[in-house]
Structure 1
Amino acid sequence: MTLPWIEIKVVFLLGIALLSYRVEGARRGLVGADATVFDVTTYGAKPDGKTNNAMMFIRAWNAACQSTGPAKLVIPPGNFMAGEVFFHGPCKCSDPITVEVLGTVLGHTDLSEYTSGLWIGFNKIDGLVVTGTGTFNGQGEASWKFNDRTHKTLLPISLKFQFVQNALVEKINLVNSKGFHMTVTSCNNFKLEGLDITAPGNSPNTDGIHISRSDLVNVTNSVIGTGDDCISMGEGNSNIRVSGITCGPGHGISVGSLGHPLDKDVKGIRVTNCTLKGTTNGARIKTLEKSNQMKASNIIFEDITMTDVKNPIIIDQHYNSKNKQGSSKVKISDIHFRNIRGSSISDVAVSLDCSNANPCEGVELVDIDLTYSGTCSCSLSAACSNAKAIFTGKQSPVACA
């Protein structure tokens, strides 16, 4: 282990400690008894499951945001339907602001209600806690037939956090989003824990959590089962930690896809102590074949258990390509798969399909213990292309050249 790697690890751990310290401080400041409560029903919201409460939610937020002391916006028990909602900052109070969800928030089923590609957005807020035992139900089942990824008409995101820092999102439930369940974009010092995110396995583009252009994000102890990636980590990210996730159904836990125009480098992602069941992919890094030039480095998948996963370990630098004739310009290096165990329904359990123009470098596989659980009379194998990989410890399947 070289000195630069030690320095990177120390910086990463210090960053996570700082995140925990700041978020825990926010938690203590937000849920205190001295917080002024802003109940959405006081601003006209009706829990009848029919009234569009979007404006009532916004009015309650604006009042809480303008408060000079600790503030808590409360959505009480009941069924509150709402169309597009924007919770904008910055807020006046130096204390974090709390949103406590105790009831069920239902997404309006009329897609014309959504003009900005989102359902509920949090923007430019410093100090935020979203908590409670309530549910955000996007009612996406009425809209999934309109999904058209080819023409880039993706459906609204349920919860979008953008330019939010020093935040905690905990204990809430997200069900049947129209598009992604949650996105975290251009955020800093952001913690997500104890979430339950659910949608059918055939629901299109319903990623559980998508993270991009963010630093110091920690996702822990959550159950996610959707029709797409349980967690996807896109471009521009640094110091992202994912642990204690139960994933399935879905497309696994992914870094990417990377290589879109204007994409920024990715560095410092660690996925540990996760369980994947019946997913299409397991630990995945994906880049576009026709891509811009960028780097993805210092990525770790460690202590992962998989049951009946189709592609347990996969680097795919020809993502979304039919002919696989191009050469991705995304440089992948310093990648580690450690202590990956369980079963694969595919006979190719390890696939390192890298770019011929930018071969993967510094790929390490340590203690891989996978068995075949498919239906054919196959033997488990690994496939490597343009990958400079090192294999140590147990290797099942047998390491590829």
Structure 2
Amino acid sequence: METSAVRHIIILLLVLLVLRSSALGQNQIYNVLNFHAHGDGKRDDAQAFLAAWQAVCGDQRTAIMVVPAGRTFLLNQVSFQGPCKSPVTVQLDGNVVAPNHIWTRKSANLLTFLGVDDLTMDGNGEIDGQGAIWWDCYNRKRCDNRPILLGFARCNNLKVRRIHLKNSADKHMTLFQCSQVSVDNVSITAPADSPNTDGITVAFSNNTYISNCSIQTGDDCVSVLSFTKNVTVTTSRCGPGHGISVGSLGRSETAMVEQITVSNCSFVGTMTGVRIKSWQGGKGYAKGFLFESLNMTEVQYPIVIDQFYCPQGNCPRKHGGVAISDAKFIDIQGTSSEHEAIRLLCSQSVHCKDIYLSNINLSWVNHTAPANATILNAHGTTEGIVLPRIQFSNTL
């Protein structure tokens, strides 16, 4: 065989090898429409979504489950379970809606991702819980259990980006027993009077980073519950809602929360700004807080520590409490809608320790008098300008 012919064969084989390697490296696309989803917002597409998920989750290549734009998919309590054979992306560009009726009487999520590591949910789509019927049912004391919109449990290396959540029957997004989570550029909306419609709830999790989010709901924009460590919320907007809260802690479990950072966030018309709340008689600890570079606009109570949390207002006095310590409030500016801009209310039996405030300037929006602060059994220091003025307790 001539040398030139051999050379051409070798080149052809090399090209085929390159093409084969390139094909193997490409992401496999699974469009839910190819699994017989209707996308008309009327017929239940749960089975089509589950079939697409099984294909994605079972693919050894990095796979993408596509929910296409321009369609609305009706879903009724779907659970996407892992583990999967490779990293998975859910590309949510279309819209998902919940049924517009009371579809469960038990604790449930509309969408659940369970035990899925290396999961990314991304896209310009929306998940609508159609919560109005549920809020009315709850207010009439007929619905004890309302579904959460989007739940992640035991998901490690999770990324949630850009999607929009709205009008959940209850909480919008929950992170439970998750590690290494990034939530970025997500928007969440529900009416200010919608009950318990928290934006993002983090529990039993660690290393969670929430950034560039806009959350407007009827409850906490972000709530951090027990057995949670290393949570950061930054460059986000909160309001209306109840603010960014740690707790409530200690009602039925031993609290363990540490290393919580809230920075470069704005609060508009919220009930509280940043808050740590625990029940009387609780056990455990909450420590290592940094609340920094925050702007408050007509926030009812911008800075709160409350060891007497009792939303119903009829709790009996109990001895003990969750030990709260090492909380820093730095560079917090703006206005309160109440005269009392700062509330540090700590237990007689378990005082709050190592509280630090620096460069605080909060004024009462009424302007008829300076804002004031209420301090009870809290110990700490101040530095620089702190308005309203703080008088910490002198003895432990």
TM-score of the superposition, structure 2-length normalised? 0.89
Contact 2:106 2:145 in 1 (8 A): no
Contact 1:84 1:113 in 2 (8 A): no
Q: Give the whole-Å Cα distance in 2 for the aligned partners of 1:331 and 1:144.
A: 35
Quick one: structure 1 residues 245 and 361, their matched pair in 2 at CA, closer, same or farther if it must change by over 3 Å? same
Contact 2:307 2:321 in 1 (8 A): no
Specify the SS of the correspondent of 1:69.
coil
**Greater RCO, CA 8 A, separation 6+:** 1
Measure how far apart 1:115 and its partner are.
4.5
Report the more deviating stretch, 111-120 or 51-60. 111-120
Report the more deviating stretch, 364-373 or 145-154. 145-154
2:335 corresponds to = 343
Q: 2:80 aligns with which of 73, 82, 87?
A: 87
Q: Give the whole-Å Cα distance in 2 for the aligned partners of 1:39 and 1:327.
A: 57
Specify the SS of the correspondent of 1:273.
strand
Residue-by-residue CA offset, 1:175-208 (whole Å, 9 max, x unaligned)? 1111100000100011000001000100000000
Specify the SS of the correspondent of 1:144.
helix
Alignment of 1:192 onto 2:183: yes
Q: Give the whole-Å Cα distance in 1 for the aligned partners of 2:145 and 2:369.
A: 39
1:303 corresponds to = 293
Report the AA paired with residue 56 of structure 1: A
1:357 corresponds to = 349
Contact 1:318 1:324 in 2 (8 A): no
1:329 corresponds to = 321
Residue-by-residue CA offset, 1:55-80 (whole Å, 9 max, x unaligned)? 21111111111111111111112111
Q: Give the whole-Å Cα distance in 2 for the aligned partners of 1:51 and 1:173.
A: 22
Q: Give the whole-Å Cα distance in 1 for the aligned partners of 2:123 and 2:153.
A: 21
Residue-by-residue CA offset, 1:193-247 (whole Å, 9 max, x unaligned)? 0001000100000000000111110000111100000001111111111101100
1:50 corresponds to = 42
Report the AA paired with residue 235 of structure 1: S
Q: Give the whole-Å Cα distance in 1 for the aligned partners of 2:378 and 2:142.
A: 33
Specify the SS of the correspondent of 1:147.
helix
Measure how far apart 1:383 and its partner are.
0.6
Contact 1:370 1:397 in 2 (8 A): yes
Larger Rg: 2
1:317 corresponds to = 307
Q: Give the whole-Å Cα distance in 2 for the aligned partners of 1:204 and 1:276.
A: 19
Q: Give the whole-Å Cα distance in 2 for the aligned partners of 1:325 and 1:262.
A: 18
Contact 2:75 2:98 in 1 (8 A): yes
1:14 corresponds to = none
Report the AA paired with residue 82 of structure 2: G
Alignment of 1:217 onto 2:217: no
Alignment of 1:160 onto 2:151: yes
Quick one: structure 1 residues 180 and 323, their matched pair in 2 at CA, closer, same or farther if it must change by over 3 Å? closer
Structure 1 residue runs without a partner (length 5+): 1-31
Quick one: structure 1 residues 152 and 288, their matched pair in 2 at CA, closer, same or farther if it must change by over 3 Å? farther
Q: Give the whole-Å Cα distance in 1 for the aligned partners of 2:140 and 2:238.
A: 23
Q: 2:135 aligns with which of 144, 150, 166?
A: 144
Q: Give the whole-Å Cα distance in 2 for the aligned partners of 1:354 and 1:264.
A: 16
2:249 corresponds to = 258
Q: Give the whole-Å Cα distance in 2 for the aligned partners of 1:324 and 1:335.
A: 27
Report the AA paired with residue 73 of structure 2: F
Report the AA paired with residue 175 of structure 2: V
Alignment of 1:59 onto 2:59: no
Report the AA paired with residue 120 of structure 2: V
Measure how far apart 1:328 and its partner are.
4.5
Measure how far apart 1:380 and its partner are.
1.2
Alignment of 1:395 onto 2:386: yes
Q: Give the whole-Å Cα distance in 2 for the aligned partners of 1:299 and 1:150.
A: 37
Report the more deviating stretch, 212-221 or 320-329. 320-329
Q: CA RMSD in A?
A: 1.9
1:230 corresponds to = 221
Measure how far apart 1:378 and its partner are.
3.8
Q: Give the whole-Å Cα distance in 2 for the aligned partners of 1:199 and 1:160.
A: 17
Residue correspondence of structure 1 range 29-44 to structure 2 within 5 A: 34-44=26-36
1:109 corresponds to = 100
Measure how far apart 1:140 and its partner are.
0.6
Measure how far apart 1:150 and its partner are.
8.5
Specify the SS of the correspondent of 1:143.
helix
Report the more deviating stretch, 144-153 or 266-275. 144-153
Q: How many residues align?
A: 366
Measure how far apart 1:279 and its partner are.
0.3
Report the AA paired with residue 252 of structure 1: G
Residue-by-residue CA offset, 1:241-299 (whole Å, 9 max, x unaligned)? 110110000000111110032344101111100000000000100001242x1100001
Report the AA paired with residue 176 of structure 2: T
Specify the SS of the correspondent of 2:52.
helix
Q: Give the whole-Å Cα distance in 1 for the aligned partners of 2:319 and 2:305.
A: 14
Alignment of 1:372 onto 2:333: no
Report the AA paired with residue 393 of structure 1: G
2:161 corresponds to = 170
Contact 2:239 2:267 in 1 (8 A): yes
TM-score of the superposition, structure 1-length normalised? 0.88
Quick one: structure 1 residues 113 and 243, their matched pair in 2 at CA, closer, same or farther if it must change by over 3 Å? same
Q: Give the whole-Å Cα distance in 1 for the aligned partners of 2:254 and 2:159.
A: 26
Q: Give the whole-Å Cα distance in 1 for the aligned partners of 2:340 and 2:174.
A: 32
Structure 2 residue runs without a partner (length 5+): 1-23
Q: Give the whole-Å Cα distance in 1 for the aligned partners of 2:38 and 2:105.
A: 20
